[in-house]
Amino acid sequence: MTKLDFSMGDSAAALRVRLREMVGEHLPEGFLGAFTDDPKDLATTQKFSRTLAREGLLTLAWPREYGGADGSVWEQTVVREEMWAHHEPRGAQYMGLNWVGPAIMAYGTAEQKNRHLPPIAAGETIWCQGFSEPESGSDLASLQTRAVRIEGGWKISGQKIWTSYAGMAAWCVLAARTGDKDSRHRGISLFLVPMDRPGITVRPIRSMLGPHHLNECFFDSVHATDDEVLGAVNEGWAVIRHALAHERIGIARYARCERLLWSARSSIGEEWAGLPESLRDRWADALVQTRVARLLAYRTVEEQQLSDRVDRQASQARIASTTCDQMVAEVLAELLGGRSLLGPAGEAPLHGAFEDHWRYAQAATVASGTIEIQREIVSRELLGR
């Protein structure tokens, strides 16, 4: 087993300070992310992403030829943690930064790289992900959206659901079946499709997670060209696996959890000593779980540098992070009681950040593949199946 040293050194510490200073300078007090009822919050994330890009921090670990800064994966991990700890001020840019860009680097043609990577690196283009379907949630291999060969390219028809950012995205990475429907993993292809193309309809799904977060998308005989296929035709499953591995470690929930745990204790002040010992023990247990989730994420980052096959490690990190999310949410709710429900405009600590975290935590073990699917991935690899 590889021995890892996770002390990132002085440069990482300096990077954290720099990022926190930028957050303090550019984000309004009480900022809770892009998915709020205030459209100014989305505009704030777009502006902040462009600021990060100008500073060479948005795609820090990307190669310079694609608009990056040739930084290390550990520097990028610092950026990821600080952004998630402060309610992801990169907003809708997350999708393109975290896995769309890396997938295009790994599988895209020279033309696709030249067209798509510079706008992502500049924080200008929003992407969405057309994977899940009404009858194919975490079991992506059973998807029914179909792409049929026609003269000059493909005709795509089907429906996608739970599509974050679809209402604002300029582009979609769309998974469709191009081969035998009984072959499951083989016969799937990925398409890079502009969202303003005729035949695409987006309908928002109302939820407690806020505007823009969930949508359903309908594709009615949408045309795609051969140049818009990402990777080889019928071999899209390899691209999906690559993408999901990046996505599952790209959300540093543990960093937000740790910040909120310490903020909750600070907001309680002298009342802390009078709380039941069992509740203080649960707070400490939750803090330990944030460290466990962090270490599992770090192990996956290290393994990704050695191999592209990190399904098990990514799923283990995802399980730890999402269950930690929910554990912390429950502890915070009990610690703060009714104070956490007063909302941003009231007297809620951290402008309602605790209640906001609780709402998002309820969906944590479902998004990006349910926890049951993550456990199955881990089990199958450990059993050699």
Given a contact cutoff of 8 angstroms between Cβ atoms, the answer to whether 133 and 158 are in contact is: yes
Given a contact cutoff of 8 angstroms between Cβ atoms, the answer to whether 97 and 50 are in contact is: no
Dihedral over alpha carbons 273, 278, 282, 283 (to 10 degrees): 0
Cα distances (angstroms) measured from residue 5 to each of 74, 131, 298 = 11, 36, 10
What is the CATH architecture of 10-125? Answer: Orthogonal Bundle (1.10)
pLDDT above 90 (res 8):
no
- More confident: 258 or 339: 258
Q: Where in the chain is the domain with CATH 1.10.540.10?
A: 10-125
Q: Is 340 exposed, middle or buried (0-12, 13-18, 19+ CB in 10 A)?
A: buried
343 — pLDDT class (breaks 50, 70, 90)? low
1 — pLDDT class (breaks 50, 70, 90)? very low
- pLDDT, residue 182, reads 64
Domain 251-383, CATH homologous superfamily name and number: Butyryl-CoA Dehydrogenase, subunit A, domain 3 (1.20.140.10)
- pLDDT, residue 242, reads 79
d(CA 165, CA 240): 19
121 — pLDDT class (breaks 50, 70, 90)? very high
- pLDDT, residue 142, reads 84
User: H or E stretch including 325?
Assistant: helix 311-336
Average of per-residue pLDDT across 44-52: 95
Percent of the chain with pLDDT over 70: 89
Q: Where in the chain is the domain with CATH 2.40.110.10?
A: 128-235
- More confident: 328 or 375: 328
- pLDDT, residue 247, reads 65
211 — pLDDT class (breaks 50, 70, 90)? low
- More confident: 322 or 193: 193
62 — pLDDT class (breaks 50, 70, 90)? very high
Q: Which CATH class, in words, describes the domain spanning 128-235?
A: mainly beta
- pLDDT, residue 138, reads 65
- pLDDT, residue 348, reads 65
Cα distances (angstroms) measured from residue 239 to each of 100, 102, 106, 119, 159 = 10, 10, 8, 21, 20
60-64, 291-295, 346-350: segment of lowest average pLDDT: 346-350
d(CA 198, CA 341): 43
368 — pLDDT class (breaks 50, 70, 90)? low
- More confident: 218 or 142: 218
Question: 136: which DSSP letter?
Answer: B
Q: Give the tens place of pLDDT for each residue, 126-141.
A: 999 999 999 776 677 7
pLDDT above 70 (res 250):
no
Tokens for 67?
A: 């608009």
Average of per-residue pLDDT across 235-255: 80
Q: Where in the chain is the domain with CATH 1.20.140.10?
A: 251-383
- pLDDT, residue 316, reads 87
Cα distances (angstroms) measured from residue 81 to each of 6, 85, 86, 180 = 14, 6, 9, 41
Question: 133: which DSSP letter?
Answer: B
Average of per-residue pLDDT across 66-89: 91
- Name the average pLDDT for the chain: 87
E-strand stretches of 78-187: 127-130, 146-150, 153-161, 171-177
